[in-house]
Structure 1
Amino acid sequence: MKRTVLLLVLLMAAGTASAQVPSPSQPPTPPPMPTPRGEVLYSCPGGIDFASTFSNDGELATLRMPGQPDIELSRAPSGSGFAYSDSYYELRGRGREATLTAAGRSMRCHAAGRPGEPPRTYAGGTLTVTLFPDGTFRLRDRREGAAEPVLDVGQWAQEVEGGVRMVLRGIDNSRRAFRELSVDKLVADDGTELRRTEKTDPIDGKFRLAGMYRDAQDGGLFTACLVGRTYGVAPGGAEPELEKAWVEATPSREASLYVEIIGGFDNNNSITVDRFLTLKRDGACPALVFRGSALRDTEWRLVELDGTRPTFTEWRRRPLMRLDDAGRFTASTGCNTLAGDFVLDPDGLRFVPGPMTLMACPPTEAEIEKSFVEALTAVRTAQISGTTLDLIDATGKRRMRLEARGR
């Protein structure tokens, strides 16, 4: 049953060696892409978001998809990335990008937020915002004259259009945007400055939450609509009332039903239920707003250069690029490798290429390399849509289109 249901979800979602000439200054070798650890929330443009929990020893990945039973995958042989499989399902990827496959049908996904990093809290004016590494946020707004602070919860994502903007989408489709001047400072659209605090504020409180609930052998599971993440339901409070309503309405022990509650988040990252509001057998969560791949710490693969789509006899010849958090980039032109600096600020995105290896290239690769470097130095802004990165020059012309590499 579990295999059939997930397969249906996926079906709906898919659709010549040369001598080296030493360079006086060799570019650094890119560090290996990290293997996921802990819980990672994957966003899948055109598909269904899901979470995967990776064991500390890296031998097991447990997939959680809204409304479905957990799926355990064992580690499988892989090259430079990671792979998990149970001979029917396969999760394979590199760094932040991944591909989930079942019965030959695949969907491309990327990690939301900044997995592995600690939560970050920013405060300024009446606002306090905490960004969690799984791409979720909690917000408290102590508005003047209000008896109680306004609380919000939802998804956060970095959007790149010129500079970086931090976008929060919360309850009632609310949207807040901030310019990210640095890792320590955000500026709201109204000019309010929020600075990073030394101590993380979990923003405890009672939130109105909607999601898909089912009872499991070791307790209830609640998949919050706003964030697409599955939480355990803590015992106590109105949890027995919620469980009773689900038992009376469920058509099967594995069915998830739409519920609305008033609740919060405990220290074990579970949901606490203070009030059970309603259950709808035919209810469903609205589609999540798709979150694009992160500009930094993603391996980008060239698919278009100055309006043409280069062809390659070998996929390893396809140019790649990766940006890091220290303002450095590394790239492969398909023949040589280069490194340099980049600047991303409210004025746009600019690359400053540095040293490059001097391998003699076949004519086709040499022409692609020349165009790649020329286009890179002309870039002045960037746009990300899903897993696609467009690099644009000062005239508005798209010089390069790249895709996040998932496998």
Structure 2
Amino acid sequence: MQTHLERIKKDLEVLATYTSTPGFGVTRSSYSKEDKQAREYLIREMEKLNLKIYEDGISTLFGRKEGTMTDAPVVMIGSHYDSVVNGGAFDGPVGCIAALEVLRVLEENHFINDYPIELILMNAEEGATFGQGSGVTNSRGMLGTLTMEELTMKRNRFGQTKLEAMKEYGLVPNLESAKRKPGSIKNFIEVHVEQGPILENENKDIGLVGFVPGIGRYKLCLFKEENNDTKTAIDYFNALFDEMLKSLKNKITGIIIPLSTDNDNCIEYKVEIRTLNKEIIEQIDFKNKINDMVNIVIQKTGLHIELEEMARINYPNPTPPSIMNKENVEKMERICNKLGYSYMILNDGSGHDAMMMTEFTDTNMLYVPSVGGLTHCPEEWTDYEDIKKGADVLLHLVMDIAVNKR
């Protein structure tokens, strides 16, 4: 069995038309008119497949294919269909359409699954919509880590809180009903574009994720003052930061990135650390460690510097590393070999819903190549043939794990 290229292409091209910025990429923000348009299209496609269609208390959309076993945990596949402002047509929708196409093929071939299979279509993954740390809303709703307080903490570009935008969308959130019971999801699997150049550079069709590093993010604001040199200050900080990384003997990696800002009073930098070592983030308070470096730079330069955490709401900073289900990674390796698709293990650090789900259930991610590594921009592109290959791998994995082998 294989998925159908032309259907995948058509779905993605249709979804790309639901944008508030035609000609300037895809802008499909959470709880917007364009969100509703995409949702209505996806519902129409699901209705053709005899799925049980329902929403949870925060408007996450599901299509359920029942299995032979009643009250069994579900195999859940899908991704998000919202976008950043002036984003691309592939980040998120690729995983939604790959999963939708899998269910089409299973229906057409009268596949009998023992475990129920649920297509999940999420509309609030992008943290940029309501500000740093506010993303992956739908998956956090299922885990029970989304709070009512968060819904009023930050605002979108129209000045609305998340709660206000939800109400305008026609949604009265019920966080309790969105929570999934432990053990209710057998597997969570997400296909996504890589959002980086590695697969393309290595000429590989598929990236199989084994781990997602834990990520810590902080923002430095260096205030401009007379007779004080911000370049000297950031150079001092860079040296101290590099010294810390070396002292931890490759247990963490880090980067300092200039941030574009309209603030005339300060220059901003993002400090980011990543690690696959769970113990080190339990042993070291990195905010305090970075703050100590800031104080040393202040003493040396006299510059006013402020440190701010860029943490995900209600989560530690850094987050712990996310470990994918190893058995399924090995199954996907065998599937790729059988189908003749080249692959590599790609332990990527991007934040996705799958990263959140690893603490709740067996989780896996697979990537398809991004041309030029471009993402979150109108030029974002993934070849449809590559998307089909990712959907094929997903199809064969689902056919394996949705059958009771006892």
TM-score by length of 1: 0.25
- Which of the pair is proportionally richer in strand? 1
Which one has a bigger Cα radius of gyration? 1
- Which of the pair is proportionally richer in helix? 2
Compare relative contact order (CA 8 Å, sep 6+) and give the higher one, 1 or 2. Answer: 2
